[in-house]
């Protein structure tokens, strides 16, 4: 799920990897799901690439399972 587009150059891949690393760190620090990061269209490609890296983790099966568990816990309250 965290696969990057192979058409990215080295600097862009580093931005992608930074987004993935930040998302994985956020998930490691909590059992709660992470939120979607906005891909700010028109602001610049680099912030978008980092957000896309983050969002590749957000879309992962593990994060989806956390959202499911979280919603089930709030339904019981």
Q: Residues 34-44: pLDDT tens digits?
A: 988 876 555 55
Whose CA is closest to 57, among 13, 32, 27, 14?
Answer: 27
Please, are residues 2 and 20 in contact by the beta-carbon 8 Å criterion?
yes
**Low-confidence residues of the chain, pLDDT below 70?**
1-5, 39-47, 74-77
Domain ranges of the chain: 10-75
What percent of the chain shows pLDDT beyond 90?
48
> 6 — phi, psi (to 5°)?
-70, -5
Q: What is the pTM of this model?
A: 0.74
3-state SS, residue 18: helix
Please, are residues 23 and 34 in contact by the beta-carbon 8 Å criterion?
yes
What pLDDT, on the 0 to 100 scale, is given for residue 37?
Answer: 80
């Amino acid at each position: 799920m965290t696969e990057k587009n192979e058409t990215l150059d080295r600097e862009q891949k580093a931005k992608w990897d930074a987004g993935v690393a930040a998302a994985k760190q956020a998930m490691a620090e909590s059992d709660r799901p992470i939120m979607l990061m906005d891909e700010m269209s028109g602001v610049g490609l680099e912030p978008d690439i980092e957000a896309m890296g983050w969002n590749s983790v957000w879309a992962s099966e593990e994060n989806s399972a956390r959202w499911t568990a979280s919603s089930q816990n709030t339904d019981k309250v």
